[in-house]
Amino acid sequence: MHISWKKLAIALAILPFVVVLAAWIGFFNVGASSGHWKITEWFLHLAMRSAVRTYALAVDVPEALPRHAIQPAAGHFARGCAICHAAPGEPRSPVVMRMLPQPPDLAGTVGEWSDAELFRIVKHGVRFTGMPAWPTQERDDEVWAMVAFLRELPSMDEATYRDLAYGERLGTAAGATETLPQALADCARCHGEDGFGRGPAIPVLAGQSEAYLLESLRAYAEEGRASGLMSLPAIAAGPQLWPDLAKHFAALPATQPGGSGDPALVRRGKEIAERGVREANVPACLGCHGRQDRSPLYPSIAGQPAPYIETQLGLFRAGKRGGTRFGHLMANAAKGLIDDDIRALAAYFSRSAAPSATATR
């Protein structure tokens, strides 16, 4: 049978209207109970895998995954991912098993994806599956931390996972922080009971000023300071608990720095901290952060973990950290820092003792 081009063109022109009509009268069954046709399921998986593979080509993969940051990633996984994807000792919810498509048990499937593909999925999510995008698109460092955690997941036992995700005492479920003890338990999952942080990617909160901690919680919750890891617990605690949380961590005794580093790197960091980098318009760090009478909204940097300091200075330099009223000052100050300067400052401040900031609380 011969089909003319004219008839084919007419059929193609009518086809969209037929599809819209079929959708309008309810011809397509959207009920999940019946599942997909086999060809539909095949096509959706093909489209998803192909799209992830193609878009992952543009991902700049780091030389090494940030395994020092898997602890806060584990906490986030327990809060928002394990219910669908399971975790060691925590099977998927029976309700999740009725979803269409069914979320995979990641311990058995992450090996199917490259690091770049995992990054793409975690950061951007997957449409039509219920897989959400990362809470902020500004923090690739957090997404890479989650990729590092996922790489460890298949070989992780229950005890290791529970220690990483919950710490000394079990955290609360997402959104269930109505009381101060619940909120503190949620914070302690990453920041520890003592406020020193449970890993080098986590800041020391002990001894910071109440004003700074309160301002930071508000910035995270209102998404003025981008963080997929911090925005959710800050929102869950709510403004009614922020003052008490700030007061609690401010009252904890500050940590004392320890360890040793490259003496030349520390000396360079000390020089920048005291004098700045004049030719790059970088002011002296201690002019604001080292004074006893500094503004209560200026945090104490001394004693913070070096990897944390490096990450935050990099975010300031890239214009991706702010949210508090003086954040723009740090963004301007960090613009002239090169990578070696940032490493030097991190080495110096991580081994410096915090000044007695009598005017900060």
In angstroms, the CA 87 to CA 140 distance is 23
Task: Check whether 50 has a pLDDT greater than 50.
Answer: yes
Task: Check whether 135 has a pLDDT greater than 60.
Answer: yes
pLDDT at res. 167:
86
DSSP 246-308: HHHHHHSPPPPP-----HHHHHHHHHHHHH-BGGGTBPPTHHHHS-TT--TTSPP-TT--HHH
Q: How many CB atoms lie within 10 A of CB 274?
A: 13
DSSP 104-126: P-GGGTGGGS-HHHHHHHHHH-B
Of the candidates 151, 96, 101, 92, the one whose C-alpha atom is nearest the C-alpha of residue 126 is 101
Which of the two residues, 7 and 209, has the higher pLDDT score? Answer: 209
pLDDT at res. 259:
65
Share of the chain above pLDDT 70, in %: 93
Task: Check whether 97 has a pLDDT greater than 50.
Answer: yes
Question: Which amino acid appears at position 308 of this protein?
Answer: Y
Q: Give the largest CA-CA distance in the chain.
A: 92
pLDDT at res. 355:
55
Give the tens place of pLDDT for each residue, 219-260: 999 989 999 999 999 999 999 999 999 999 999 998 776 667
Task: Check whether 357 has a pLDDT greater than 70.
Answer: no
Match 């999740």 to its residue by tokens.
Answer: 96
The answer to whether 300 and 207 have CB atoms below 8 angstroms apart is yes
Q: How many CB atoms lie within 10 A of CB 22?
A: 11
In angstroms, the CA 91 to CA 82 distance is 8
Look up the pTM and report it: 0.89
What does the mean pLDDT of the chain come to?
90
Question: Which amino acid appears at position 331 of this protein?
Answer: A
Provide the phi-psi class of 86: left if phi over 0, else alpha when psi is between -120 and 50, else beta: left
Q: Which of 97-101, 117-121, 332-336, 355-359 has the lowest mean pLDDT?
A: 355-359
Give the tens place of pLDDT for each residue, 277-328: 999 999 999 999 988 888 999 999 999 999 999 999 999 999 999 888 888 9
pLDDT at res. 169:
62
Q: Model confidence at 6, in pLDDT bands (50, 70, 90)?
A: confident
Give the tens place of pLDDT for each residue, 154-207: 999 999 999 999 987 655 444 456 799 999 999 999 999 999 999 999 999 999
Helix (H) or strand (E) holding 151: helix 140-152
Q: Model confidence at 360, in pLDDT bands (50, 70, 90)?
A: very low
Question: Which amino acid appears at position 283 of this protein?
Answer: P
Q: Based on DSSP, count helices (H) and strands (E) in the chain, helices before strands.
A: 16, 0
In angstroms, the CA 273 to CA 57 distance is 40
Alpha helices in the chain (DSSP H): 5-24, 38-55, 70-80, 82-85, 115-124, 140-152, 158-166, 180-191, 210-221, 228-237, 242-251, 263-275, 286-289, 306-317, 327-334, 339-349
Question: Which amino acid appears at position 139 of this protein?
Answer: R
Q: Model confidence at 356, in pLDDT bands (50, 70, 90)?
A: very low
All domains of the chain, ordered by start, with CATH? 42-166 (1.10.760), 180-251 (1.10.760.10), 263-349 (1.10.760.10)
